[in-house]
Structure formats: structure tokens, C-alpha cells
Amino acid sequence: MIYSDPTRAAPAFRAQIDQAQHILLLTHVNPDGDAIGSMLGAFHALRDVGKQVTALASSAIPDYTRCLAGIDEVQIYQRGSAFPEVDLIWMLDTAALSRVGAVFDDHEAALAARPLIITDHHVTNDGGGVVNLIDPSAASTAELLFRLLQAMELPIRPAAATSMLLGLTTDTQSFQTSSTSPRSLRIAADMLEAGADQRTVISAIYFSVPESVVRLSALTLSGMQREDGLIWTTVTQQQMASTRAGDEAPDDAIRQLQRVEGMQIAALFKERFDGTVKLSLRSIPGIDVAAIARTWGGGGHKQAAGATLPMKLEEAQATVLPLLRAAIEQAQ
């Protein structure tokens, strides 16, 4: 069953949760603030009603999420590890199980053998769970989850509220994105009233940027190229090594690119250690970059999407840039 309204979805979600003893929380590979904030929001709410919970990420978490209570409970999956003995899986902020990364690669059969519930706001989600709450109009999964927890009458204490506020704040870029709605702002107020620590969230996101991130952004932005409304740059493994930047550090550069006056599409090509390229795309309303990302099995939102390309950096640019030029031309 697929729902878009948390109030309607709540009884079905609550029934699955009530009959489960040990719940596995999953989110997408290369998790962002909304992924981890939503995961920890659910984690705290479930723990507070006596459930055994395992929160499992397939790759490193963003540095700015380390301010959150319970972050040490988020396990980073290691290849070859045993699958936990759970009886329910809750997938958050993720359009498909294949997007959870190494956990799926190693344990596809085990995942398929357990009931799956999904809470997500990605338009690319086709509802593969036994119960699904999917609302692409929501500005973040965190705001959707907050409404669902309220409707299920699960406790939302300060630790959970703070986690979800971080998710909402990062996915809306502090309420700058076109998906931000009056409801998003009201939910943010509800989170604060539930005890969310806004000062901690803002400090972690905006005033605790590692020096390595700033140095990498300087190198990356100095290589920016532009053709009218198309702006792009690259991040090489050499740049990552020379600045000692973490895996999520290039996210800062793409945020800067999308703020350039006249930008229609911004693209960042990140060279990965395994020879692939991580592609990050941003666009203005009217240009759907998620459709382009789906070419390589990626996804996201119409104005913010990404994919992993099985090719070298030069080939990735030669392949993707013509598609971006065509998307801009079609939008005019």
C-alpha cells in the first residue's frame, strides 16, 4: 500500500512496528543530513517505546551530523558482515533498496525476506515496501517522518526532534529550496516546540566547516567552467588527497556553484578511488536533472540529483555535458 498522507499511513505503519521486536533502519549510500537526521529521528522514537533498533549506513556519515545524540549508534556496514537478526526493515529517504549500497549488494536475499516499510520524499520512489509513505511534495523526509511519528502517537523527545530539524534544515538549505512550503516552516516550529536544539544544528552545519573542506572548495571552484547557464567543475583524487578532505567535502562546492547568478544547471564531477565518477546535479525549476541521473541508475529530486557513473572523469564529462546542454535548450 502506498500513502502520501501521514495520518492515513499511520495505522498501517504502527501495526508493522507494534508486531516487530528488532527493527533495522536503512538509508541511501553516501548519506546526507536528511538521511541521517531521519534515521536517528526514527531510532530515538522506536527506542523510546522499547524496540530493539539497529541503524545501519553503508558509507561514511557527514561530519556535521556528529553533533546529534545517538550518532555513535549508527553503524557503518563493513563488506562481508553478517546480516542482523531483525524482523522488520524501515528504509528512510531512499527510493529503492538497491540504493542502500553494500548492505544490498551482500544481503539482497535477506532484505527481500523481511517486511519492508518506506518513508521517503523522492519522486523516483515507486513504493516497494509492504507499507509506503511517499510524498514528493515534502521538502524533506525528516518533515514527513515528523508528521508520521505524530500521527502514530510515538514519542518525539528533544533528541529525535533535533535530528529531524537537522534533516529538514539541510535538505531545504535553511528553507531556500523551491520545495519549502508553509507546512515546512510550521513543522520546523513544531520541532522547536518539541525541544529541538536549533543552536546545535546551525553551529554544526554552518559554523563548523573543516579547514580541509574550505581548501578543497578553493581548488574545485578555481577550475569552474561555464557555458551560459551551464556551470560545472571537477574534483580529482589528487585534490582530495592534497587537502585531506573527507568524502562528503565536495558537497560544499556544488552548493556554491548553484548560487552563481544565471545558473540553470550546475554539475560536479567527482573522481572516485575505484575509477568511477560521482555526479552531482543541481538545476532551477523547470529543468529535471533527476531524469538525467536515472540514466545511470541514480535519482533524487527534479532540482537536486546524483548518480555514480562507471567511467573515467574525462569520459563522464564528454557523456554528461551534451545531455545537460540539451536539457537547458529544451527548457528555453
pLDDT tier, 30 (very low <50, low <70, confident <90, very high otherwise): confident
Cα–Cα distance for residue pair 87/22, rounded to 1 Å: 6
> Is 225 strand, coil or helix?
strand
Mean pLDDT of all residues belonging to the chain: 95
pLDDT tens per residue, range 193-229: 999 999 999 999 999 999 999 999 999 999 999 999 9
pLDDT band at 279 (very low <50, low <70, confident <90, very high): very high
Task: State residue 21's pLDDT score.
Answer: 96
According to DSSP, residue 77 is labeled: P
Residue-level pLDDT at 332: 82
- The answer on pLDDT for 233 being more than 90 is yes
pLDDT band at 246 (very low <50, low <70, confident <90, very high): confident
Q: Could you give all domains of the chain from N- to C-terminal order, each with its CATH number?
A: 2-206 (3.90.1640.10), 212-331 (3.10.310.30)
| CA atoms of 46 and 276, how far apart (whole Å) | 37
Backbone angles phi, psi at 7, to 5 degrees: -65, -40
pTM of the model: 0.87
> Is the distance from CB of 235 to CB of 273 less than 8 angstroms?
no
User: Residues 66-89: pLDDT tens digits?
Assistant: 999 999 999 999 999 999 999 999
pLDDT tens, position by position, 115-133: 999 999 998 888 999 999 9
